[in-house]
Structure 1
Amino acid sequence: MSEKLGIVVREALGALGIEASEVVIERPADIAHGDYSTNAALAYAKVAGVSPRELAGKLVEKILETPSEEVKEIEIAGPGFINFRLTDEIIRKENSKEEISLKTSYSGKNILVEHSSPNLFKPFHIGHLMNNIVGEFTARAMQVGGAQVTTVAFPSDISLGIAKAIYVLQKDGGTSQQMFNDTIASGSFEDKTKVVNYLGECYTRGVTLAKENPEFESEIKEIAKNLYNEIESGELHNSVGYELWRKVQLINTEYFDTVLESIGSKLGKVIFESEVAKNGKEIVLENTPNVFTQSEGAYVYVPSEERKDLNTLVFVNSDGHPTYEAKDLGLIEKKFREYGEIDYSLFITDNEQTHHFKVVLDAAGKISEEWKSRADRSIHIPHGRMLFKGQKMSSRLGGVPLALDVIGVVEEEVRERAGEKIAHLSDEEKKKLEREIALSALRIAVLRSKPGMNINFDPESSLSFEGDSGPYLLYTHARCSSLIEKGRKRGYNAKFKDVPVTLLERELAHFEIVLADAVENIAPQKLVTYLFEVAQLFNSFYAENHILGEDKETSEHYLAIVKRLKEVLSQGLWVLGISAPDKM
């Protein structure tokens, strides 16, 4: 509908002798002002040589010269906004659509989305969960926006930090320790989790050991050197360090697969840092001194003086090993070489890495025209940090909590708060629902804000069944499912009738334009806000009307509204990475 109105406004401008390169049709902030609005009169008043409000009047006159079956009313508001109110018939038609059909700038594009990248020697922590929440939304948004999406993960598996962890692991007895044997024998997730948690401890101990005992530095650097040499050469692979590294890589990957599956996600195609380290280093050396500069045995990138926002960074260190910056160059090259004609490469990382990627992309753009094109199509989407409000969660989690510990604590809160609401369910149903509610609370708490914002998770508000929260949206969806099932048993068929549409119906008809806006701008907060709005309108509607009354005609119309709301909630929540249950 917005596209049709855009054409109508452009034609009206053309009839007035104004060539319009772009016309914005948007949803008014307040639905009381209409279903759609345009600022075209304000945008082109200077060209027309008249005031915005005068131009708005002329545009409305031109538009009204051609009768429209879609538009019921047109009015001018404020300094020159033009508001359109659609006919009831068009509202019902919009709400009767069975499939979403979005047209965005991503439609037909080939897009890579990199997210949920695990780290060797580290369990899945809250940072990984934040990354997954934003990344899962981004991938699904691109998909619903009409793109061909491939998800990838870029695990950090080779660095001096990894060498420190391997040094400790070797001293502890390597993978011959009993816990590794237990994991191989059982294959259970619990045993894998114990091993990965232990590996995380090895990493922490290794960092501390190296800091407090400089005499071990040469041994640790030798492990790092051997790892880089063996991985780059592809020939030796016979050192103890390499064997431990390879086993840990497999264990970590299997562990992450299971964790992601448990939260309704999955690991994309994996590109390890070790796969691109050699190529990244070669790219740096081949473009020195044209792009990079040799300094004290290292290779650095010095941004131009105009880029005051960028600092000099090391791409190959004085030991001859590629840094994260060089590895990212190798990753960019691999993505655009091996994944076909890539239109965009979207990658999600912590917001503290924003400067890092600005420097990497600035350097990449200086290599060649082809590399500049790659850099221009590589888009960094940041995620923030999560803090926890409330003494119980803060004291239980502390430090950098593991994701499954966070989810577990939230599930406990769900059990305490849900109480009688889910008492009628079986134990298996309760367990599944508790996980769904916990994940909905966490995902909504993150996605209700612009990507990159830090989050203060408050269980009091985030787990409320009566406020703006994930559980509130799930409960509304389940209520819709229950009403539809009860209506079916009464023999009622959901069907819109030829009666005046309600405010709720008008709001529901806006779903596609809101979803398109959220996709276009990678703005989950817009979709979350909209879902809250329609849920609140429905619950007010539910309180004021008897949905399943004796009047079949009225009840079937109400059920059609309920059915449409359920579809909107289900589709919207899916894009946000949330599973919507039919029973609660």
Structure 2
Amino acid sequence: MSIVIKIKEAASEAIKALYNVEIAAKDITVNATKPEFEGDYTIVIFSLIKQLRKAPDVAGNELGTYLTQHHANLFGSFNVIKGFLNLVVADQYWLQFLTNNYSNEHPGESARNGKKVMVEYSSPNTNKPLHLGHLRNNFLGWSTAAILNAGGYDIVKTCIVNDRGIHICKSMIAWQLFANGATPQSEGVKGDHFVGDYYVKFNEEYKKEVAALMAGGLSKEAAEKEAPIMKAAQQMLVDWEAGNPAVVELWKTMNEWVYAGFDETYKRIGSNFDKIYYESQTYLLGKDLVEDGLAKGVFTQRADGSVWIDLTADGLDEKIVRRKDGTSVYITQDIGLVVNKYEEYGCDQSIYVVGDEQNYHFKVLKLIAQKLGLPSADGIYHLSYGMVELPTGKMKSREGTVVDADDIVNEMISIARQKTEELGKVKDFTETELAALYNTIGLGALKFFLLRVDPKKKMIFNPEESIDFHGFTGPFVQYTYARIKSILRKVGNTEYNVSGNNESLLPLEKAVINQLEQFAGVIDECATEHDPSKLAIYVFNLAKIFNSFYTEHSISNAETADKKMLRLQLAQLTAHTIKSAMQLLGIEVPERM
């Protein structure tokens, strides 16, 4: 149980004892005390005075007196300033926390809670390689799943691959027209990059044909419809849906090239899935649900045979769920997949990690599922995130200006090498160790930079800025961990036992322990809000506070033997906590750097 919860429960008990008033612990506001005041945590009295019928200062002093008398093991002293009760936590509490936890290599983890959550992320198209936007998606999805797992949930990680449709056919047509039988193997090109090049080639050729038709007198709209290469792609989609053997065989071959490329990238960035769904296998799902919705009066059929749902009363609009020719639309497929997933896994919540351009789609999906009475409906959650841009601006797939994930990773490793060599502290590393270190620093910088921002916000990714050993970056946290491990190695293997528990804590010692104690609460907050950025901020602040402590206070030459052991406990728990926090972000920490 975190100290904030303990304070709330103690305050609730005190209010009941002093005033015979019942206020639930969860309704009591406790904040970290502002730096300009003495104290560790502050109870906000203003929100309680109506029920207590006391002046804020009077209530604050009465509560503070009760708490320090009846919970002396938790509170050392208090002060009241304008209706805020500032509590100084007893050194004994912090020391006991440190003694109980310093050897725990997995701090902050919760017991299993019996609930299951599905996290769906990545969702690539098989006409191009993963790009920078996919990296933010993968890192958010993987980290959210890891945090939920640490919070006690059972996790199922899934991916839906968009492997059918006109965009896939564009790459296929371009390959037929321009490849002359070339393959990724014959060209020495990674499969997803190979296919993506033909998607770009399609659009280049399409633009040429449209321009030629317009020069011949057609309007732009007519030219776009009549361009031969676009007509060929549309016909290929019809042939695929009809099961044309040659088309289906080419589709399978080119998709396999892409999957091989995806797998290589996923392995490199540390992304993985328990189950992969393919749109080619799910796009017919949901048709029965349309009939069910018509029978329940949730959907209505128009004169032309199309089926719709009216969501205007819910602040949205009317949405088609089946075309007049009987074919389903994306929302119908997604509803069908909702049912399919629930029947297979029975998850309490299903989190979709998808960009914010799909906010409306997921509002509609959840509403329709609820109106149909699907058991999984209330658990649908859209983890919406903003797009990633580069300092040079937006990226566009069809124009070939997207920054591929593989290229970004390569660049990050190259910058990591350059920055590390500039510091000149790795002369005793072997080439193999250096390669592993550069990979760890480069990927760590990339993940931390993309995860440190609130998912809902758009962001600009600057590779150079992300690898800074002194800023709000992954390498800064990694370096702090390596620094602590170096300190512990110099001390050698020993039991960090403190002979007595009467040591008084210096302000920076207390600050580090206070930060360490908050770790479990931060995991819980991140799990509840599906926001890994809070964890990135937390571990950065922990590293920063530890560095401030270590700058001021020696560990190996501490004032007393007990002080040395206490600080070794503090250093060891800090290392364990940094490593655990970074691993929940998908980031490895080097033992030395």
- Report the counterpart of residue 504 of structure 2 in structure 1: 500
Maintained 8 Å contact 1:168/1:205? no
- Report the counterpart of residue 226 of structure 2 in structure 1: 214
Structure 1 residues 51 and 417: CA distance shift in structure 2, 3 A: same
Are 1:192 and 2:191 counterparts? yes
2:273 counterpart SS class: coil
Are 1:225 and 2:238 counterparts? yes
- Report the counterpart of residue 559 of structure 1 in structure 2: 568
Maintained 8 Å contact 1:257/1:267? no
Maintained 8 Å contact 1:165/1:205? no
Structure 1 residues 13 and 133: CA distance shift in structure 2, 3 A: same
Per the TM alignment, residue 407 of structure 1 is displaced from its structure 2 partner at its CA by 1.8
Per the TM alignment, residue 266 of structure 1 is displaced from its structure 2 partner at its CA by 1.6
Letter matched to residue 516 of structure 1:
D
- Report the counterpart of residue 235 of structure 1 in structure 2: none
- Report the counterpart of residue 365 of structure 2 in structure 1: 360
User: For residues 258 and 26 of structure 1, what CA distance do their matches in structure 2 show?
Assistant: 47
Per the TM alignment, residue 536 of structure 1 is displaced from its structure 2 partner at its CA by 1.5
Per the TM alignment, residue 306 of structure 1 is displaced from its structure 2 partner at its CA by 3.5
What is the CA deviation profile of residues 41-71 of structure 1, one whole-angstrom value per residue up to 9, with x for unaligned ones?
4333333344444443443344345243222
Structure 1 residues 382 and 123: CA distance shift in structure 2, 3 A: same
Are 1:409 and 2:415 counterparts? no
1:278 counterpart SS class: coil
Per the TM alignment, residue 322 of structure 1 is displaced from its structure 2 partner at its CA by 2.9
- Report the counterpart of residue 350 of structure 2 in structure 1: 345
2:351 counterpart SS class: strand
Are 1:87 and 2:90 counterparts? yes
Task: Find the partner of 1:249 among 251, 255, 258.
Answer: 255
Structure 1 residues 61 and 554: CA distance shift in structure 2, 3 A: closer
Maintained 8 Å contact 1:487/1:493? no
Farther-moved stretch of structure 1 (408-417 vs 448-457): 408-417
Note the 1:511-522 alignment, pairs <5 A: 511-522=519-530
What is the CA deviation profile of residues 94-145 of structure 1, one whole-angstrom value per residue up to 9, with x for unaligned ones?
23411435559x9331111111222212211111101011111100110010
Per the TM alignment, residue 33 of structure 1 is displaced from its structure 2 partner at its CA by 5.1
- Report the counterpart of residue 548 of structure 1 in structure 2: 556
Note the 1:372-387 alignment, pairs <5 A: 373-387=375-389
Per the TM alignment, residue 465 of structure 1 is displaced from its structure 2 partner at its CA by 0.5
What is the CA deviation profile of residues 435-487 of structure 1, one whole-angstrom value per residue up to 9, with x for unaligned ones?
22122222222222211211112344321111221110011011111111111
- Report the counterpart of residue 291 of structure 1 in structure 2: 298
Letter matched to residue 284 of structure 1:
V
Per the TM alignment, residue 93 of structure 1 is displaced from its structure 2 partner at its CA by 2.6
Question: How much is the aligned-residue C-alpha RMSD, in angstroms?
Answer: 3.2
Letter matched to residue 314 of structure 2:
R
- Report the counterpart of residue 305 of structure 1 in structure 2: 312
- Report the counterpart of residue 214 of structure 2 in structure 1: none
2:23 counterpart SS class: coil
- Report the counterpart of residue 147 of structure 1 in structure 2: 153
What is the CA deviation profile of residues 67-98 of structure 1, one whole-angstrom value per residue up to 9, with x for unaligned ones?
43222234434434x34332222212323411
Farther-moved stretch of structure 1 (538-547 vs 348-357): 538-547
Letter matched to residue 361 of structure 1:
K
What is the CA deviation profile of residues 355-392 of structure 1, one whole-angstrom value per residue up to 9, with x for unaligned ones?
11112222222222xx2x5222111101222222389x
1:571 counterpart SS class: helix
Maintained 8 Å contact 1:166/1:202? no
Maintained 8 Å contact 1:164/1:206? no
Maintained 8 Å contact 2:142/2:271? yes
Structure 1 residues 534 and 257: CA distance shift in structure 2, 3 A: same
- Report the counterpart of residue 213 of structure 2 in structure 1: none
Are 1:137 and 2:146 counterparts? no
Letter matched to residue 379 of structure 1:
Y
Task: Find the partner of 1:443 among 423, 443, 447.
Answer: 447
- Report the counterpart of residue 484 of structure 1 in structure 2: 488
- Report the counterpart of residue 127 of structure 2 in structure 1: 121
Maintained 8 Å contact 2:171/2:196? no
User: For residues 469 and 117 of structure 2, what CA distance do their matches in structure 1 show?
Assistant: 37
Structure 1 residues 38 and 520: CA distance shift in structure 2, 3 A: farther
Structure 1 residues 423 and 55: CA distance shift in structure 2, 3 A: same
Question: Between the two proteins, what is the percent identity of the paired residues?
Answer: 25
Maintained 8 Å contact 2:108/2:519? no
Per the TM alignment, residue 197 of structure 1 is displaced from its structure 2 partner at its CA by 3.5
What is the CA deviation profile of residues 261-289 of structure 1, one whole-angstrom value per residue up to 9, with x for unaligned ones?
11122233101122221112442354248
Letter matched to residue 374 of structure 1:
S
Letter matched to residue 565 of structure 2:
E
Task: State how many pairs are aligned.
Answer: 557
Letter matched to residue 95 of structure 2:
R
Note the 1:13-32 alignment, pairs <5 A: 13-15=15-17, 16-21=19-24, 22-24=26-28, 26-28=30-32, 30=34
User: For residues 386 and 299 of structure 1, what CA distance do their matches in structure 2 show?
Assistant: 38
User: For residues 125 and 24 of structure 1, what CA distance do their matches in structure 2 show?
Assistant: 46
User: For residues 408 and 314 of structure 1, what CA distance do their matches in structure 2 show?
Assistant: 44
Per the TM alignment, residue 533 of structure 1 is displaced from its structure 2 partner at its CA by 1.8
Are 1:583 and 2:592 counterparts? yes
Letter matched to residue 462 of structure 2:
D
User: For residues 288 and 233 of structure 2, what CA distance do their matches in structure 1 show?
Assistant: 24
Maintained 8 Å contact 1:121/1:202? no
Maintained 8 Å contact 1:23/1:38? no
